[in-house]
Structure 1
Amino acid sequence: MKQYRVIGKSVLKKESWDKVTGRVKYIDDVQEVGTLHAKLLTSTHAHAIIGEIDTKEAWKVKGVRMIITGKDYPLLLGTTIKDRPLLAFDKVRYYGEPIAMVIADTEAIAIKASTLICVKYEPLPVVNSPEAAYQKDAPLVHEDVEQYLIDESSGLTGTSGGIQPIPGTNIANIQGIRKGNIDRGFAKCDIIIEEEFSFNQADHTAIETRCADVEIKSTGEVIIHSASQEPFEMKELISETFNIEEGKVTVNIPLVGGSFGAKTSVQLEPLAYVASKSVGGKRVRLRNSREEDIVTSPVHIGLHATVKMGCTKEGKIQALKLFFLFDGGAYAERSVPITKAAAFDSTGPYKIDNVWCDSLCMYTNHPFVTDFRGFGRTEAAFGVERTMDIMAKKLGMDPLEFRLKNAIQPGDTSPTQVLLNKSNLGDIKECLFQLKELMDWDKGQRIEISDRFVRTKGISCAWKNGDPPPGVSSGAIITFNKNGSINVISAAVEIGQGTKTVLTQMVAEKMNMDEDEVFIQMEVKTQDSPDNWETAASRTTFMSGNAVLKACDDAIRQLKRTASVVLKVPKDELEVANKKVFMRTDPSISIDFSEIVLGYIYPNGKVAGNQVVGRGTYMIPGLTEMNPVTGKGVQGPEWGVVAQGVEVEFDKRDNTFKLLRAVTVADAGQILNYKGAETQITGAMNMGLSFATREGFIFDDEGKVLTTQFRSYKVMHFGEQPEYIVRFVENPVKGAPFGSRGLGEHGIMGMPSAVANCLSIAANVSLKRLPLTPEFIWKSRLEAGEVH
């Protein structure tokens, strides 16, 4: 690997001191005098016809400015299928769906008034799971799905393209994979197994709940402040929905207090716009309580998966058939691209010549869905990786050796039939070899500590190719201060992942200067920043990084052009370093950046050069349409891979367990910021373990979510985490900034299946549903006859 001055080093995040000293201002920290507050009245039913909405008592509350219901704005929104009302106006389709909105002088007044609104419902049969939604006689969540508009960009390509809801069913979309011949593949098999796996929807639990402020100026300008990952899509959607000139919409994004995918789709902002418009354009704030953030706003997708795998007696997988029923909730939104992405990478990092997959996005009467870390791969990996362990046990083969035997390699093809090479594919074998050593695998998977306690180890693998739609781009601008230091403008949103810091490292490396001399704008303002695709899919560093490097190249050309005139040296003989432009063969012939970045002025007043402003844009080349039936196509530039392991101590008497160790070995290409990469992976591992062992909505028979606060919705607490071990394989990618791969999501993807594999060995029973609570493990052991 090439050695760099700044790249690969553990550089402190640019915003660290402001965060730890409390100086950072998140959106809800800014309280502008005169701001009004909006509050939502939400449904107490999961599926019901809306009758009368009586607002008379609410209007009597002093300080109420306006009350809006769905009939006032019978609009349908959606970034894939336009099926979601701004406020429900004919029927409600999930518990917690917004029905009315109160705008008042204070949030307390708005809350009080909203509780006085009386709504009459006519309950309807509830579709309470994706399996129920798939039945032929299931009630329809949407009776006239064929009448909905499909978002224009969804008619193109990628995970958001080719969407086709099926009328008369609850199927919002089907994405297929057809590689090889599945029947011939199974005919070659000595062992065939078929298993089912599932988990409910869950929450993202970001520290900062969702919040939006909107103000409409007298000129018609719309000013939005929001905690969001996609400011430019928000700008476009507000413009399109409300017929506003796009140039009059400005979106401001401060630092975001965590997201994990929760803040990708446009959510509260259209409501806040309508609220502001209803009160003459005054600034209105709409923010979620924790309960609203868990239930009313979009959630993490659920899944019921059927996995059929066939293998020779020597341990070579010949065929894999997958049937995914994803719980997309009441509205399509982001659930469609998630289910498509799950199909594209459905096999995991294994060579399988015959693959059949149908990935269905199902409408249910549950909350609707947005992105979650892993974007479908974490969910698909749970079923496939559990099946890998079950098959290894059938074969009498070590599960790690079974994975090595089937590990995908350069020269193989992906499920989407892309030919793989050393650049576009991470080295999963090397990851497994390092995992084996770090886990002390040769000491055994199961060690009896006593009659009561046992220690076990479980592993898994995963991979991910970030899949932005074709045609999206990122832009960057760099300017210079008088002393030669650099300012970077990029619309990548800082959500805690450290992207802004990494971009400054890239600039420092490219310009051969100290990273402390590079400054970056943390906030995003659409009027000031070049367009940038959303901050998602582990593609921000790839796209924004390339844009920033192109901006540096542009600036260097300008610097050399001016310096060449002043120094009377040909441009191709000049170099740039330490805020100077100098002659390669005689560095003493040089000129400081400070003398030329704003244009050079001779003593006689003549001018050489102009102000240096570097501009760069980047669009990923080679992305193609993804066939909706076969899945064939190119959805992204490269696959990052990960091998993960978990060790637990299990109490056979009461079915409790302690997480001892969690290990990740990831091929992330060239590491850009070592400590940043390590903490990104560690945080994702923690999320994966929390999701696997504690999290998940509990629905009653009527579709009501019972876990709406942290008293009932459990997450992993500090002190409950295991020892985390993270290692990297650095196999660089051609065309990526400094050869880096995406890694923001890789730490989570294999954790649920690894801990499930581990606990299945400990409990001596095959665990096929999340979360893996002691109660669930006890019930599974009871059904299997392991306990009495």
Structure 2
Amino acid sequence: MVFPPILVNSLFPGNLVDLPAARITADIVGIANYIIHVTFILACWILLTMSFKYIGKPTARIDGWEKANGTAIYAFDIELPGMLYAKLVRSPYPHARIIEVNGEDARRQPGVVKIVSGKDVPYKLGIYVGDRDILATEKALWAGHPVAAVVAKTLEAAEKAVELVRVKYEPLDPVLDPLEALKPGAPIVHERLGEYRKLPVFNPIPGTNIANIFRLVRGDVQEGFSQADLVVENEYSMPMVSHVYMEPMTVVAHYQRDGRVDVWTSAQSPFTVRYLTSVSLGIPLQNIRVHVPYVGGGFGGKAGLNLEPLVILLSKLSGYRPVKLSLSREENFTSAAVRVGLHARIKTGVSKDGRMIAEEIRYVFDAGAYADYAVNVGRAAGYAGVGPYEIPNVKVESYTVYTNKTYATAFRGFGHMELHWCVERQMDIVARKLGIDPVEFRLKNLHKPGKSITATGVRVREDAGRPDLCLKAVAEALGWGKPREKPDRPWKYRGIGLAVFMKGPAQPPNSAASAIIRFNEDGSATIHVGTTEIGQGTLTALAQLAAEELGIPLEMVRVSTEKDTLFTAYTWQTVGSRSLFMDGNAVIMAARDARRQILERAAKVLKAEPSELEIVDGVVRVKGKPWMNVAVKDLAMGYTYPDGTSIGGPVIGRGWYIARHMTNLDPETGQGSPTIFETYGCQGVEIEVDVLTGEVRVLRIVSAFDIGKAVNPLLVEGQIVGGSVMAMSIALMEELKYGDGRMLNPNLTDYKIARAGDVPKEFRSIIIETPQLDGPY
């Protein structure tokens, strides 16, 4: 068998293997290593050349038709008998002590059922640090902080009554800049920080505004700087931005008199909603049932726990009637979570030939009023802090800091977008000062699979992917180093730029996923998984995995789109780029379990061994003798012989997957294995700048990702294009503006996002498929 050089090179960079002429020494260790390498290459080659019916094929989304024709059900569409409606009273001050909440005038309004203040719901929330009030109790911590809620028989009545709730405040000095918040004497956002519950990996510092510090240390940076020929230091920043998902937050909750709770919510992670609600409110977990219908986008903004506990308690306090709370777009801007802001300082030491010797980084993330996911964003940015580069001496300090602004949560990339903005700008500046081409400079220092040691002290997997191939592909597509077409006007200028990146799922070592595949009477199969469909297309890819494994037509596979914690198989969360890998492996295991049952049953019917059988298009047949067969539908519920005797029963496959290769990180040095895998990629753009008007136009975007196996290339390209447009929008247009501590642009008139006319005319998406042996295919 002849192996193409690209395959061998992709697995062993810098160690090209010529198999026919390779010399095998008599050394036992050498022979063992050779066998391992050859086996690895052979396995990868088999995976690359295996013929699939559904895997790797562009397939339309299974949820596309319902969404296109308007029949998809979202949380906003839920209506229950006797339902009440809630609206929020929000603080006009960024920092103020609450003296009194007076709802007497509001109570007298027709249709008003209940006025609730923070003292009525004295619980603390928080996924990592329990610092969050359901409604502001002692203090309002940002302008827009909900301090009371009105429940009424109609939405209109609730909206009128909200205006009549009188809240007496004592304004306090706010702290709005995270760098100022770190200084001694700054106003303290959380005076009771030392009293809050927290997970052991996070360490809020009482008496300060520090929600967490993550430290990463490898080697000796000071010694590294002393050996460097050039040291470059710069500062970078990114503002807070809004997720701007299409569907604002909606929650419907019914607290029933027997203690059972039903919640319908626009959330990414139903099992997290259930668990954290139980922990926070003291409701037995088995009494909480969370329903998640279709979700109109999330981008991390609907991860964790949001408005669900408030609406649950409003239902209880309003006579156990169901209550709906839907935020307006303006309320969603000011009262729901946003993306963190960032200030960074990077100091880089390099040799004159372009080798990185040392790097010291200080990240300061603006968490707003609550820690929420922001502390984990800061942690993820800390351990991935130097990006996809091998640097022997590293020191990273990543601070997550409270301020009196809207609280921050997860956002696409989970800290990686922010850190790579800083790191990649630094790479360009250092390359320029060295007089080295930026592409060449990056290639010298990029991770090398199987060889490089990451900043957390872990050797990069041999099958991790090829950042160098991604970089070269984008540079070539951009025409790097070649003359470019000139603009049509002398006052316009064009330029190209690129950036390399890596991203791994930010999840704990014990995060898990499960799947159940249930066969129906007609031989079709229904998949139950906990991951939600928030626009990423995962459920379509999971259907393709199941159809491939089961040997039945794709149209005979249905994935349950509504999530219901009473029936749905468990998954940790739909966050962090984990779902297709984790839930996909669980689905494959469940499909193989179901397939085994079918083959064992068919073997008795066809009087053959299971290993002699195959399933093709819903028919089990003897290999080489396709006329000896039995339909899957005749086996799915159990097989009945002509004489009426039966065997088996309903086929139900089950599968699971848990994070592997991960460890806890050393609390002092950050050393350890923080992620199950890394995905490498590179993006480049060509822009045109009008120096008279200041207009910046993105002419084209080129992307290359090494993703293992593209289960559905159509959806992969859709994600690349969609993510590129969002990134362009954030880079050129988006920023939450504050004045006197108040958000100045809480609407889509003043908060600018990319429109259709801003989208580049040219996209090029390059998919590189270095096989990852523990990934789905």
**TM-score normalised by structure 1 residue count:** 0.91
Q: Is the 8 A contact 1:179 1:354 kept in 2?
A: yes
Amino acid at match of 1:240: V
Q: Does 1:60 align with 2:108?
A: yes
1:491 aligns with 2:530: yes
Separation in 2 of the partners of 1:444 and 1:400?
A: 16
Identify which of 111, 118, 121 aligns with 1:70: 118
Q: 1:545 aligns with which of 578, 584, 594?
A: 584
Give distance in 1, aligned partners of 2:673 and 2:330. Answer: 40
For 1:545 and 1:397, the matched residues in 2 are separated by 43
Contact 2:367 2:402 in 1 (8 A): yes
Deviations 1:543-568 (A, max 9, x none): 11111111111111111221122222
Residue of structure 1 equivalent to 2:68 = 20
Counterpart position of 1:47: 95
Amino acid at match of 1:419: R
Distance across 2 between alignment mates of 1:267 and 1:713: 23
Alignment of 1:592 with 2:631, yes or no, is: yes
1:605-684 → structure 2 map (5 Å cutoff): 605-684=644-723
2:743 is the counterpart of 1:705: yes
497-506 vs 22-31, which deviates more?
Answer: 22-31
CA contact (8 A) 1:66 1:104 kept: yes
Instruction: Give the structure 1 partner of residue 143 of structure 2.
Output: 95
Within the candidate set 149, 154, 165, 1:117 is matched to 165
- Which amino acid is the alignment partner of residue 721 of structure 1? V
Percent identity over the alignment is 36
Displacement of 1:540 after TM fit? 0.4
Q: 1:761: which partner in 2? A: none
The question of whether the paired residues in 1 share the 8 Å contact of 2:124 and 2:131 is answered with yes
> Aligned partners of 1:27, 1:593: CA distance in 2, in Å?
37
Distance 1:416 1:374 in 2: 19
CA distance in 2, matches of 1:74, 1:478: 42
Alpha carbons 2:76, 2:250 under 8 Å: kept: yes
Equivalent-residue separation in structure 1 for 2:486 and 2:347 (angstroms) = 31
| Letter in structure 1 aligned against 2:184 | K
Residue aligning to 2:431:
392
Who is 1:323 aligned against? Answer: 362
1:382 Cα deviation (Å)? 0.9
Unaligned runs of 5+ in 1: 156-161, 739-788
Q: Once structures 1 and 2 are overlaid, which stretch shifts more, 320-329 or 240-249?
A: 240-249
Aligned pairs (5 A) from 1:452-467: 452-467=491-506
1:419 paired residue among 445, 459, 466? 459
Query: Out of 541, 558, 574, which is 1:535 matched to?
Result: 574
Task: Within 5 Å, give how 1:135-534 maps onto structure 2.
Answer: 135-150=183-198, 154-155=199-200, 162-410=201-449, 411-423=451-463, 425-444=464-483, 450-534=489-573
Distance 1:522 1:618 in 2: 20
Distance, in Å, in 2 between the alignment partners of 1:143 and 1:309 is 37
Contact kept? 2:303, 2:410, Cα under 8 Å: yes
Task: Using the TM superposition, give the Cα deviation of residue 97 of structure 1 relative to its aligned residue in structure 2, in angstroms.
Answer: 0.6
For residue 724 of structure 1, report the CA deviation from its aligned partner.
2.0
Q: Name the SS for the 2:380 alignment partner.
A: helix
Deviation at 1:585, TM superposition (A): 4.1
Kindly indicate whether the alpha-carbon contact (under 8 Å) linking 1:86 and 1:270 is maintained by their aligned counterparts in 2.
yes
CA distance in 2, matches of 1:466, 1:733: 15
Contact persistence 2:708–2:775 (CA under 8 A): no
The one-letter code sitting in structure 2 at the alignment partner of 1:647 is E
User: In the alignment, which residue of structure 2 is the partner of 1:718?
Assistant: 756
Tell me the SS of whatever aligns to 1:149.
coil
Number of equivalent positions: 727
Cα separation, 2, equivalents of 1:236 and 1:313: 54
Q: Shift in Å at residue 291 of structure 1?
A: 1.0
Task: Note if contact 1:561-1:609 (Cα within 8 Å) is conserved in structure 2.
Answer: no
Q: CA deviation at 1:445?
A: 7.6
Amino acid at match of 1:478: I
Kept in 2: contact 1:445–1:457 (CA 8 A) = no
- DSSP-derived class of the 2:638 partner: strand
1:763 is matched with which residue?
Answer: none
The letter of the residue matching 1:313 is: K
Instruction: Give the deviation of 1:11 after TM superposition.
Output: 0.4
RMSD of equivalent CA atoms: 1.4
Partner of 2:29: none
**Separation (CA, whole Å) in 2 of partners of 1:249 and 1:213:** 13
CA displacement 1:379-430 (0-9 Å, x = unmatched): 011111111111111112221221112211021011211111221x221110
* Matching residue's letter, 1:88: A
User: Counterparts of 1:21-40 in structure 2 under 5 Å?
Assistant: 21-40=69-88
**Aligned residue runs from structure 1 range 718-757, under 5 A:** 718-722=756-760, 723-738=762-777
Structure 2 equivalent of residue 129 of structure 1: 177
Aligned position for 1:744: none
- Range with bigger deviation, 668-677 or 576-585: 576-585
| Separation of aligned partners in 1, 2:365 and 2:90 | 25
Q: Structure 2: 5+ residue runs without aligned partners?
A: 1-47
Distance, in Å, in 2 between the alignment partners of 1:450 and 1:711 is 31
Asked if structure 1 preserves the Cα contact closer than 8 Å seen for 2:78 and 2:252, the reply is no
Per-residue deviation at 1:311? 1.0
Structure 1 residue aligned with 2:13: none
Query: Aligned to 1:80, which of 117, 128, 131?
Result: 128
The answer to whether the 8 A contact 1:565-1:608 is kept is no
Please give the per-residue CA displacement for 1:72-127, whole angstroms capped at 9, x wherever unaligned: 12211111111111111111111111100000011121111111111121111111
Task: Give the corresponding residue for 2:732.
Answer: 693
Amino acid at match of 2:76: D
Structure 2: how far apart are the matches of 1:670 and 1:55? 59
Deviations 1:138-178 (A, max 9, x none): 1111122111111xxx22xxxxxx11111221111110110
Q: 1:4/1:603 Cα in 2 relative to 1: closer, same or farther (>3 Å)?
A: closer
Aligned residue type for 2:295? V
Aligned to 1:772: none
2:53 alignment partner in structure 1: 5
Distance (whole Å) between structure 2 residues aligned to residue 448 and residue 318 of structure 1: 40
The alpha carbon displacement at 1:572 in A equals 2.5
Structure 2 distance, partners of 1:430, 1:580, is 42
The letter for the 1-side match of 2:613 is L
